[in-house]
Structure 1
Amino acid sequence: MVFSPDPKQNQLLAALPNAEWQRWLHQLEWVELPLGQVLYEPGRTLSHVYFPTSAIVSLLYVMENGSSAEIAVVGNEGIVGISLFMGGESTPSRAVVQSAGEGFRLKASTIKDEFNRAPVLHLLLRYTQALITQMAQTAVCNRHHSLDQQLCRWLLLSLDRLTGSELVMTQELIANMLGVRREGVTEAALKLQKAGLIRYARGRITVLDRPELEQRTCECYAVVKKEYDRLLPPPPVS
């Protein structure tokens, strides 16, 4: 029996009206998204948009000196490459796969043509608003909240985009996403592990107590989650 990847594992694709779904179905291209793959770089023309199904993609703001910090994460709830239908051919951010998995992509020319069709336009704009909220809240969080709270927020946002409770991620990569030193992440992760909230071993983080993790994070996680829940349709029941 041959496994056939299902585009409707992505919530935006699952929410498409039937007419749009029938048009898109044969134009969607399944892709593997390995850990660390760069989907686009700042200033470069975008060739596709991506709809993750089991992968998670980090959007990073890159400074002139090469340093970077995560400004948002995109998983099976969304789309990577919103600049294409927001009036630009390129983007100021970098998109990197932070959790390996799969997804589908659509050519830039196709998404720009489809954007003029009302149902798709409204759906993508709602997602864009949710993503902008996440970016803004991340910036505030990085400026005003402790590293311990930032790590809890990051773990919860990542967990929302996975089907299980385990993330494959090194502390060095987490440090790059948060724009902090690796030693700080190590210390914060050890605190959570000693408290019994997570288990960390060999680059794998397993969340053991999500309710307590939500108690320890700042208000930023709840703000972002509430906006996604308000603007986007719920995921399909499997």
Structure 2
Amino acid sequence: MTDSSSQTHTAAQCDTGQNSIYRNSLLLRMCSADLALLQPHLESVSLGLKTHLEVAGSPIRTVYFFESGLGSVVGELRPGIEAEIGIIGCEGMTGSALIMGDDRSTHDCYVQLEARAFVIDAGLFTKALLTSPTLRSFLLRYVHYFHLQASFTALSNARMNIVDRLSRWLVMCDDRVEGNSFAITHEFLSVMLGVRRPGVTIALQTLEGQGLIRSRRGEVVILDRARLIALADGSYGRAEAEYARLVGKLH
């Protein structure tokens, strides 16, 4: 991770002393002057499982900065043929298209694990981007990281077996949740990984047999994170290192 002198803003511009009430890494590390543009409009909300945050091809109405839980960006070829493109947790936000100058989402985004988030109206968020000389450049760092995360997802889906892909996915979830366990169903995992449900069941059993996880009904417990990273075989780590360089430590 680089020190603060290598970031876009200077130390004087980047006073973040008032940001400590946030768990979201972007709000936590955002310059106070930029946060002041957003803060009066931020509202804390609870988000239930499968809550839709963005709909493919539709205008973005609201931007979510995750404080806990997980969101999934999911691409669909046609009804019933879909797979996860990327994960969003307390390191990130929805609404990347707004940062890049568009007003609508390319893919669906919905809650994968029950979450809390700070939300802001998309119009007010866009107004803040236009008002601040620094906010967009800071958030583009996150967008760059997310695109890199998605590129490694594509690479792992194309070149890795399901056990190794699942290992990467579990470590990425572990980065974003408190504790070492989280609730997830085999059906939901099959969508996230773009495979059939029986394949997920076998992959979980394989990892459990190696002592890396414990899989209960609707719950996975991480037992050996280091060995899961080793199984991910290079598909985990490089995007996360870029996040650390561009924004700060992921977890």
Instruction: Provide TM-score, normalisation by structure 1.
Output: 0.93
1:96: how far off? Answer: 1.2
Match of 1:24 among 29, 33, 38: 38
Look up the match of 1:107. Answer: 121
Given that 2:184 and 2:218 are in contact with CA atoms closer than 8 Å, whether structure 1 keeps it comes out as yes
1:51-62 equivalences under 5 Å are 51-62=65-76
Match of 1:183 among 181, 198, 203: 198
Look up the SS of the partner of 1:35 in the other structure: coil
Superposed CA RMSD:
1.5
Query: What letter corresponds to residue 41 of structure 2 in structure 1?
Result: Q
Deviations along 1:137-186, one digit per CA (max 9) or x if unpaired, are 11111011110110001001111111211111001101101110011110
Look up the SS of the partner of 2:135 in the other structure: helix
Look up the match of 1:85. Answer: 99
Structure 2 Cα separation of the partners of residues 235 and 141 of structure 1 = 20
Structure 2 Cα separation of the partners of residues 89 and 106 of structure 1 = 14
Given that 2:244 and 2:250 are in contact with CA atoms closer than 8 Å, whether structure 1 keeps it comes out as no
Greater Cα shift, 220-229 or 130-139: 220-229
- Say whether 1:140 aligns with 2:161: no
Given that 1:52 and 1:102 are in contact with CA atoms closer than 8 Å, whether structure 2 keeps it comes out as yes
1:21: how far off? Answer: 2.1
Look up the SS of the partner of 2:108 in the other structure: strand
- Say whether 1:70 aligns with 2:96: no
Deviations along 1:181-238, one digit per CA (max 9) or x if unpaired, are 01111001001111111111120101011111111112111122112112112369xx
Given that 2:55 and 2:107 are in contact with CA atoms closer than 8 Å, whether structure 1 keeps it comes out as yes
Query: What letter corresponds to residue 127 of structure 1 in structure 2?
Result: Y
Structure 2 Cα separation of the partners of residues 74 and 65 of structure 1 = 23
Query: What letter corresponds to residue 161 of structure 1 in structure 2?
Result: R
Look up the SS of the partner of 2:178 in the other structure: coil
Deviations along 1:24-49, one digit per CA (max 9) or x if unpaired, are 22210111111111111111111011
Query: What letter corresponds to residue 195 of structure 1 in structure 2?
Result: Q
Look up the match of 1:3. Answer: none
- Say whether 1:126 aligns with 2:141: yes
Look up the SS of the partner of 2:59 in the other structure: coil
1:67: how far off? Answer: 1.4
Structure 1 Cα separation of the partners of residues 21 and 201 of structure 2 = 37
Structure 1 Cα separation of the partners of residues 188 and 195 of structure 2 = 10
Look up the SS of the partner of 1:226 in the other structure: helix
1:7: how far off? Answer: 5.7
Look up the match of 1:211. Answer: 226
- Between the aligned residues of both structures, percent identity stands at 32
Greater Cα shift, 161-170 or 227-236: 227-236
Query: What letter corresponds to residue 36 of structure 2 in structure 1?
Result: Q
Given that 2:183 and 2:218 are in contact with CA atoms closer than 8 Å, whether structure 1 keeps it comes out as yes
Given that 2:38 and 2:128 are in contact with CA atoms closer than 8 Å, whether structure 1 keeps it comes out as no
